[in-house]
Amino acid sequence: MKTSARNHFSGEITAIQSGAVNDEVTLKVGNASVVAVITQESSKSLGLAVGGKACALIKASSVIVMVDADPAKVSARNVFVGAVSCIKAGAVNSDVTISAGGLEIAAIITNDSVARLGLATGKPAAAVIKASSVILAVD
């Protein structure tokens, strides 16, 4: 599968919690878990079930980068604490990669944010992603 999303994480569905309209789907990817919130209609049309395989797709522009992140104090379901592994600066934005939980997570943030946060290769940082920003796909 080819997409424009920078972050592709394949894994196994470990939990599906159904609500009135949406399902919360947890995908085990390496040493990490990625949580997605999708409609029940999407869960059914994709044939999602615990033990099944799926791929989480996340646009790099949907990733928020934090320093000194405390996952217990953030409302987003996905907080991956790790370290900056790469920064590629552009004219206005930078492509920042964070290594966390066995994942390499790409984020696009402004150069001003890179400077303000003091980001540099090897420095601690976290990738924060709302569950509603995670798209699920199956083969």
Q: Going from the N-terminus, what domains does the chain have, and what CATH number goes with each? A: 7-58+131-137 (2.40.50.100), 60-129 (2.40.50.100)
Write down the pLDDT at residue 1.
Answer: 81
pLDDT at 69: 86
Asked if residues 53 and 1 have their Cβ atoms less than 8 Å apart, the reply is no
DSSP string, 18-77: E-SSEEEEEEEETTEEEEEEEEHHHHHHHT--TT-EEEEEE-GGG-EEESS--GGG-S-S
| pLDDT number for residue 43 | 96
Tell how strand 22-29 and strand 64-66 pair up: unpaired
In this structure, what are the phi and psi dihedrals at residue 18, rounded to the nearest 5 degrees?
-90, 140
Q: What is the pLDDT of residue 2?
A: 85
One pLDDT digit (tens) per residue for the chain, 139 residues: 889 999 999 999 999 999 999 999 999 999 999 999 999 999 999 999 999 999 999 999 999 999 998 999 999 999 999 999 999 999 999 999 999 989 999 999 999 999 999 999 999 999 999 999 999 999 8
pTM: 0.94
Q: What is the pLDDT of residue 65?
A: 98
CB 95 within 8 A of CB 87: yes
